Chains A and B, each alone.
Chain A
Amino acid sequence: MSATANRDDRLATANLGVAVAAFGVAAFMAFMQALSRANLELPGRSAGMYYLSVTAHGVLMAIVFTTFFIMGLGVAFTNAGLERRLRYPRTAWAAFWIATLGTVMATWAIVTGKATVLYTFYPPLQAHPAFYIGLTLVVVGSWVWSFVILSTWTAWRNEHPGQATPLEVYGMLAAIIVWLVATIGVAAEMLFQLIPWSLGITETVDPMLARTLFWYFGHPLVYFWLLPAYVVWYMVIPRLAGGKLFSAQLGRVVFAMFIVLSTPVGFHHQYMDPAVPSGWKMLHTFLTFIILFPSFVTAFTITASLEVAGRARGARGLFDWIGKLPWGDPTVSSVLLAMILFAVGGFGGAVNASFATDSVVHNTAWIQGHFHLTVGTAVALTFMGTAYWLVPRLTGRELELGLLAKVQPYLWFLGMLLFSIANHITGLMGMPRRVFDATYQGSAIAERWQSLTAISAAGGVLLFISSTFFLLVMLGTVLAGKKTASREIQFSETLQPEPASSSIFDRLGVWAAIAVVLVLIAYAYPIYSHLSMPTFGSPGYKPY
Chain B
Amino acid sequence: MTTMRVGIYERAWMWAAGVLIVLFLAMLGYAAVAQGLRPPSHIETIDPRAVFDDPRFANPGVTAGPDGRVIVTSLAMTFAFQPAEIRVPANRPVSFGLTSSDVQHGFQIVGTNANTMVIPGYVSEFTTVFKRAGEYLIVCNEYCGVGHHLMSSKLIVEAAP
Residues on A facing B (Cβ under 8 Å) = 47-48, 51, 54, 116, 118, 122, 124-125, 206-208, 211, 246-247, 250, 270-278, 281-282, 285-286, 289-290, 292-293, 296-297, 300, 304, 350, 354-356, 359-360, 362-364, 429-438, 440-441, 443, 445-446, 495-496, 533-539, 541, 543-544
How far is it, in angstroms, between the C-alpha of A363 and the C-alpha of B98 when the chains are bound?
A: 17
Nearest 9 A-B pairs (CB), nearest first? A543-B145, A430-B110, A296-B17, A281-B39, A432-B141, A363-B141, A278-B41, A435-B149, A355-B39
> Cβ of A275 and Cβ of B43 under 8 Å apart?
yes
Given A281-B39, A359-B40, A496-B3, A438 and B149 touching (CB < 8 A)? yes
> Cβ of A433 and Cβ of B141 under 8 Å apart?
yes
Given A285-B39, A363-B108, A434-B143, A446 and B18 touching (CB < 8 A)? no
Q: Which residue of B lies closest to A301 (CB)?
A: B10
> Looking at chain B, what size class is its interface with the partner chain?
35 or more
How far is it, in angstroms, between the C-alpha of A536 and the C-alpha of B40 when the chains are bound?
A: 22
Question: Chain B nearest CB: distance from A541 CB in Å?
Answer: 5
B74 at interface (Cβ–Cβ under 8 A)? no
B133 at interface (Cβ–Cβ under 8 A)? no
Q: Which residue of A lies closest to B152 (CB)?
A: A440
B38 contact set on A, CB distance < 8 A: 278, 281-282, 355
Question: Chain B nearest CB: distance from A180 CB in Å?
Answer: 27
Q: Interface code B37-74, partner A: CB below 8 Å = 1, 0 otherwise?
A: 11111111111110000000000000000000000000
Q: Interface code B1-38, partner A: CB below 8 Å = 1, 0 otherwise?
A: 00100100110011001101100110010011000011
Q: Which residue of B lies closest to A267 (CB)?
A: B39
Find A356's partner among B17, B21, B37, B48 (CB 8 Å cutoff): B37
> Cβ of A250 and Cβ of B10 under 8 Å apart?
yes
B76 at interface (Cβ–Cβ under 8 A)? no
B139 contact set on A, CB distance < 8 A: 430, 432, 435, 440
18 further A-B contacts with Cβ under 8 Å, apart from A273-B117, A359-B114, are A122-B104, A124-B102, A246-B6, A250-B10, A289-B21, A292-B17, A293-B17, A354-B28, A355-B39, A356-B31, A363-B142, A429-B111, A430-B137, A446-B137, A535-B121, A536-B45, A538-B120, A538-B121
Find A274's partner among B14, B125, B140, B143 (CB 8 Å cutoff): B125
B145 contact set on A, CB distance < 8 A: 51, 125, 541, 543-544
> Cβ of A541 and Cβ of B108 under 8 Å apart?
no
Interface residues of B in 129-156 (CB under 8 A from A): 136-137, 139-150, 152
Question: Chain A nearest CB: distance from B6 CB in Å?
Answer: 8
> Cβ of A207 and Cβ of B121 under 8 Å apart?
yes
A537 contact set on B, CB distance < 8 A: 121
B91 at interface (Cβ–Cβ under 8 A)? no
Q: Which residue of B lies closest to A435 (CB)?
A: B149
Question: Chain A nearest CB: distance from B123 CB in Å?
Answer: 6
B82 at interface (Cβ–Cβ under 8 A)? no
B95 at interface (Cβ–Cβ under 8 A)? no
Question: Chain A nearest CB: distance from B60 CB in Å?
Answer: 17
Q: Which residue of A lies closest to B102 (CB)?
A: A541
> Cβ of A543 and Cβ of B144 under 8 Å apart?
yes
How far is it, in angstroms, between the C-alpha of A263 and the C-alpha of B3 when the chains are bound?
A: 35
B86 at interface (Cβ–Cβ under 8 A)? no
> Cβ of B104 and Cβ of A293 under 8 Å apart?
no
A359 contact set on B, CB distance < 8 A: 40, 113-115
> Cβ of A432 and Cβ of B78 under 8 Å apart?
no
How far is it, in angstroms, between the C-alpha of A276 and the C-alpha of B103 when the chains are bound?
A: 18
Find B108's partner among A47, A276, A364 (CB 8 Å cutoff): A364
Question: Chain A nearest CB: distance from B142 CB in Å?
Answer: 6
B13 contact set on A, CB distance < 8 A: 296-297, 300
Question: Chain B nearest CB: distance from A355 CB in Å?
Answer: 4
How far is it, in angstroms, between the C-alpha of A537 and the C-alpha of B116 when the chains are bound?
A: 20
> Cβ of A297 and Cβ of B14 under 8 Å apart?
yes
How far is it, in angstroms, between the C-alpha of A278 and the C-alpha of B18 when the chains are bound?
A: 26
Given A274-B44, A281-B41, A543-B145, A445 and B104 touching (CB < 8 A)? no
